[in-house]
C-alpha cells in the first residue's frame, strides 16, 4: 500500500508539474507575443482610424495593454482629433460631415477581441468596447450637400473591404460621459453624466443593406439622469430628472423637466427696466416619437411624427408697474417663434394633455395680483414646421384644443396659424359653456377692481381674425343675473 500511495503521489506531482510548466510557457508565450504584437496592433489601430475616416481623424494613445489569452485590450490616455485641414477641403467640395468630434478619455477597454482572427482572417470580432467617463466635444457645422450624379458614395464596408472583411462588436458602452455641443466655435450646451449603449454593430457585405440597422447597429440607446444647469442670464435653473432615447425605435422621452426662476415674482420682474414675462415651468413628461435621428445627425434637422406634452404646469407672471418693452410682442406669437428656431423643424402632431396654465399680472394700483387659470388644456396641433419645402405644400398649423376657464367653464377653440404670412396672421373660433361668473373674482377684483356678486355665463361664441398688428371679429356673450360692485 505505501508503495502504491507513493506512486500515486508521484503521478499527481508529475501532472501538477506539467500543468504549471504549461501555464508558465503559455504565460511566457503570451507575454512574448503581446510584446511582439503590441506595435503591430498599435499601428493597425491608428491606420484603421485614419484610413477609415478618409484621413479626417487621428487617434493617439499613451500605451496599449494586450492580453492574447483573454483577448482583452486596454488603451491609456486616448485622444481622437479631427484634421481641420481635411475638413476644410471636404467643406470646399461640399462633402464635409455635419458634425465633428473631439474625444478624450483615460481608458478604452476592449474585451474578448479575436486578435488572431483579425490578423489572419481579416475579421474583427469584439465582445464589448467601453469608454469610461470620456470628454466628448461635438461641433456642428451647417454644410450644404452636393449631389454627385456621377460617382456613387461608398458605404463604410466598401471603404474598408480591401483590408477588412467584417467587423462585429457586441456592445459599445459610453459611461458617464461629459458632452459639450458647439455651433462652430460657439459653445451652446454642456451635458454631464450621459450614458450611451450601442448594441450589435455589424459591418460586412450584407449588413450594409440591412434597413433594420441604424449606423450599422441594431439599437442605439442613451440615458441622462439628474441634469441641472443655470441659464446664461442667471435668471433660471434648468432641471431634468431623466432623458431616455432610442435611435432605432425613434423615441425620446424626457421626465421631470423644470425651469425654475431664481427670484420671487416681483423681485424677478424688478431686475429689468421694462415688462418681462417670468416663467415657472414644470413638465412631468415630454415624449417624441418617430424622430428622424439620422437627419438630425447628418443635416441638423429635427423631424418627428409626434410630440406629446403633459401632465404639465405653466405659470407666467407679468408686472404692470413697469413700462412695456420697446418691441412688438407679436414676435413671440407661436408661429413667429417657430420661424426663429435655429434648426429646420417639423413636428407632424403636437399633443397636449392635462396642461394647467396660470397667467398672473400685478396691478400697481391695487397692489394685488390677478390670475387667469386655464386648467386641463388638451388637444392637438398639426403641422408645426419651419421647413421651407413642407411650407410650399401646407403653410397652416391647425390647433383643436379644449380647456376649462378657472377650472370650471369649458372652452373649445380652433386656431389656424398662417406659417408664412409676413404679419403672422391667424384666426380662431370657439365656444364657452355655462359657468358661475363669481369664479372670475380672483381676476376681476385685482385687475378690474370689480367684484362679481352673482351672475351666470350661459354661453359665449367667438370668431376672430388677427395678426401681430390688429384683430377683428365677433363675440356673442350670453349671461343672466349679473351683479357686481367696485372692489
Residues 202 and 271 in one domain: no
pLDDT at 336: 87
Under the banding of pLDDT at 50, 70 and 90, the label for residue 161 is low
- Residue range of the domain that includes 457: 231-486
More confident residue, 205 or 170: 170
pTM of the predicted model as reported, rounded to 2 decimal places: 0.76
- The predicted-structure confidence for 57-106, as pLDDT tens digits, reads as follows 998 989 888 776 777 888 889 898 999 899 888 888 888 888 888 989 88
pLDDT at 460: 96
Read off the pLDDT of each residue in 218-239 and give the average, rounded to a whole number. 90
Residues 305 and 175 in one domain: no
Residues 251 and 108 in one domain: no
Q: What percent of the chain has pLDDT over 90?
A: 44
Q: For 62, list phi and psi in degrees, rounded to 5.
A: -75, -45
Q: Is residue 451 part of a domain?
A: yes
d(CA 399, CA 381): 4
pLDDT at 356: 97
For the CA atoms of 207, 213, 218, 220, the dihedral, rounded to the nearest 10 degrees, stands at 130
CB atoms within 10 A of CB 221: 17
- The predicted-structure confidence for 243-279, as pLDDT tens digits, reads as follows 999 988 999 999 999 999 999 999 999 999 999 999 9
Residues 256 and 117 in one domain: no
Domains identified in the chain, total number = 2
CB atoms within 10 A of CB 60: 12
Residues 325 and 424 in one domain: yes
Which segments of 142-263 does DSSP mark as H helices, in order? 156-160
Range name among 24-33, 275-284, 366-375 with the lowest pLDDT average: 24-33
Question: For residue 315, is pLDDT > 80?
Answer: yes
Question: For residue 157, is pLDDT > 70?
Answer: no
Looking at residue 367, the DSSP 8-state letter turns out to be: T
Could you tell me the CA-to-CA distances from 226 to 7, 180, 231, 312, 405 in Å, in that order? 67, 17, 16, 19, 35
What grid cell was written down for 487? 372692489
Mean pLDDT taken over the chain: 85
pLDDT at 99: 83
- The predicted-structure confidence for 432-486, as pLDDT tens digits, reads as follows 999 999 999 988 888 888 889 999 999 999 999 999 888 999 999 999 999 988 8
Under the banding of pLDDT at 50, 70 and 90, the label for residue 408 is very high
Residues 250 and 384 in one domain: yes
CB atoms within 10 A of CB 395: 15
Residues 377 and 453 in one domain: yes
Residues 315 and 445 in one domain: yes
Residues 210 and 292 in one domain: no
Q: What value does the CA radius of gyration of the chain take, rounded to a whole number of Å?
A: 32
Residues 275 and 220 in one domain: no
Residues 179 and 282 in one domain: no
How many angstroms from the chain centroid is the CA of residue 258? 15
Place of cell 380662431: 428
What's the length of the chain? 487
Question: For residue 14, is pLDDT > 60?
Answer: no
More confident residue, 126 or 399: 399
Could you tell me the CA-to-CA distances from 290 to 98, 166, 214 in Å, in that order? 21, 31, 14
Residues 199 and 255 in one domain: no
- Is-contact 259 296, C-beta < 8 A? no
Q: Is residue 456 part of a domain?
A: yes
pLDDT at 150: 45
Q: Does residue 360 sit in helix, strand or coil?
A: strand
Please provide the DSSP assignment of 6-40 as one string.
HHHHHHHHHHHHHHHHHHHHHHHHHHHHHHHHHHH
* Domain closes at, from 204, 227, 250: 227
* Domain closes at, from 177, 208, 227: 227
Looking at residue 128, the DSSP 8-state letter turns out to be: E
- Is-contact 107 133, C-beta < 8 A? no
Q: Is residue 13 part of a domain?
A: no
* Domain closes at, from 202, 227, 252: 227
pLDDT at 373: 96
Question: For residue 165, is pLDDT > 80?
Answer: no
Amino acid at each position: 500500500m505505501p508503495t502504491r500511495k507513493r506512486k500515486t503521489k508521484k503521478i499527481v506531482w508529475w501532472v501538477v508539474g506539467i500543468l504549471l510548466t504549461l501555464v508558465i510557457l503559455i504565460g511566457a508565450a503570451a507575454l512574448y507575443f503581446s510584446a511582439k504584437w503590441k506595435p503591430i496592433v498599435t499601428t493597425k489601430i491608428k491606420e484603421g482610424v485614419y484610413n477609415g475616416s478618409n484621413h479626417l481623424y487621428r487617434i493617439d494613445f499613451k500605451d496599449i495593454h494586450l492580453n492574447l489569452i483573454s483577448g482583452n485590450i486596454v488603451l491609456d490616455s486616448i485622444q481622437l482629433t479631427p484634421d481641420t485641414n481635411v475638413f476644410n477641403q471636404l467643406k470646399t467640395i461640399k462633402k464635409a460631415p455635419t458634425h465633428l468630434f473631439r474625444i478624450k478619455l483615460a481608458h478604452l477597454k476592449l474585451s474578448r477581441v479575436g486578435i488572431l482572427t483579425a490578423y489572419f482572417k481579416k475579421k474583427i470580432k469584439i465582445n464589448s468596447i467601453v469608454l469610461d467617463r470620456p470628454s466628448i466635444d461635438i461641433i456642428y457645422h451647417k454644410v450644404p450637400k452636393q449631389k454627385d450624379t456621377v460617382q456613387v458614395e461608398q458605404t463604410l464596408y466598401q471603404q474598408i473591404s480591401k483590408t477588412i472583411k467584417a467587423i462585429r462588436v457586441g456592445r459599445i458602452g459610453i459611461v458617464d460621459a461629459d458632452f459639450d455641443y458647439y455651433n462652430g466655435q460657439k459653445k451652446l450646451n454642456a451635458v454631464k453624466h450621459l450614458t450611451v449603449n450601442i448594441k450589435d454593430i455589424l459591418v460586412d457585405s450584407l449588413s450594409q443593406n440591412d434597413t433594420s440597422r441604424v449606423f450599422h447597429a441594431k439599437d442605439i440607446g442613451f440615458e441622462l439622469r439628474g441634469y441641472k444647469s443655470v441659464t446664461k442670464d442667471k435668471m433660471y435653473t434648468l432641471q431634468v430628472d431623466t432623458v431616455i432615447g432610442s435611435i432605432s425605435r425613434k423615441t425620446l422621452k424626457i421626465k421631470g423637466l423644470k425651469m425654475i426662476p431664481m427670484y420671487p415674482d416681483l423681485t424677478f420682474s424688478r431686475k429689468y427696466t421694462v415688462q418681462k414675462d417670468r416663467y415657472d415651468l414644470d413638465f412631468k413628461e415630454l415624449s417624441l416619437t418617430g424622430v428622424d435621428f439620422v437627419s438630425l445627425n447628418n443635416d441638423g434637422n429635427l423631424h418627428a411624427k409626434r410630440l406629446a406634452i403633459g401632465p404639465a404646469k405653466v405659470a407666467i407672471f407679468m408686472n404692470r408697474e413697469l413700462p412695456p418693452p420697446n418691441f412688438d410682442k407679436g414676435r413671440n406669437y407661436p408661429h413667429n417663434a417657430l420661424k426663429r428656431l435655429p434648426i429646420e423643424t417639423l413636428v407632424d402632431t403636437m399633443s397636449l394633455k392635462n396642461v394647467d396654465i396660470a397667467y398672473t399680472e400685478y396691478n400697481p394700483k391695487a397692489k394685488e395680483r390677478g390670475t387667469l387659470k386655464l386648467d386641463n388644456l388638451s388637444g392637438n396641433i398639426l403641422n408645426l414646421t419651419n421647413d421651407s419645402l413642407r411650407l410650399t405644400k401646407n403653410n397652416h398649423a391647425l390647433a383643436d384644443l379644449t380647456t376649462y376657464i378657472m377650472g370650471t367653464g369649458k372652452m373649445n377653440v380652433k386656431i389656424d396659424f398662417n406659417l408664412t404670412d409676413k404679419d403672422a396672421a391667424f384666426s380662431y373660433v370657439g365656444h364657452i359653456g355655462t359657468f358661475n361668473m363669481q369664479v372670475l373674482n380672483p381676476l376681476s377684483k385685482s385687475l378690474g377692481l370689480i367684484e362679481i356678486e352673482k351672475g351666470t355665463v350661459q354661453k359665449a361664441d367667438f370668431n376672430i381674425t388677427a395678426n401681430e398688428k390688429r384683430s377683428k371679429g365677433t363675440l356673442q356673450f350670453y349671461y343672466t343675473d349679473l351683479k357686481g360692485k367696485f372692489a
